């Protein structure tokens, strides 16, 4: 398997995993997040986990799913959507940690996945630019 195919497969896998994770977490939040203390939301704009769950589901999950589909289908904007999805994940986590604090190992793991997506996009683009430059 070529390096570019490996990068693409890595992006598809990470984006798909993050989409599923965000959809599941979003549904859990919208359903009330029974095992998560509501006190964590004190001082935030939210009195329940419904709206944060909806945002997680629609914005984070939707962006990651769209980017995964774009990568798999080889859309022209696939790498841009992947970079957007990685950025959305990082911003979501920064806000989440600012609001409820560090409460789960999933937060840094998901943050690392978001950063890895950005790095893979950069490496993929760099490899593409270098090969295009060499063929001129």
If 0-12 CB within 10 Å is exposed, 13-18 middle and 19+ buried, where does residue 70 land?
buried
Which structure tokens are listed for 102? 């560090």
Q: For residue range 37-55, list pLDDT tens digits in order.
A: 999 999 899 999 999 999 9
Q: For residue range 84-135, list pLDDT tens digits in order.
A: 999 999 999 999 999 999 999 999 999 999 999 999 999 988 876 655 444 4
Measured distance CA(81)–CA(97) in Å, rounded: 24
């Amino acid at each position: 398997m070529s390096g570019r195919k490996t990068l693409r497969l890595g992006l598809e896998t990470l984006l798909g995993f993050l989409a599923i994770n965000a959809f599941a977490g979003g549904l859990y939040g919208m359903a009330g997040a029974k095992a998560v203390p509501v006190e964590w939301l004190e001082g935030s704009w939210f009195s329940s986990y419904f709206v944060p769950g909806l945002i997680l589901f629609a914005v984070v999950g939707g962006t990651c799913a769209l980017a995964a589909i774009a990568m798999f289908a080889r859309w022209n904007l696939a790498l841009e959507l992947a970079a957007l999805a990685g950025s959305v994940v990082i911003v979501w986590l920064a806000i989440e940690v600012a609001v409820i604090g560090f409460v789960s190992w999933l937060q840094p793991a998901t943050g690392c996945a978001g950063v890895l997506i950005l790095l893979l996009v950069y490496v993929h683009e760099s490899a593409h630019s270098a090969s295009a430059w060499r063929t001129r």
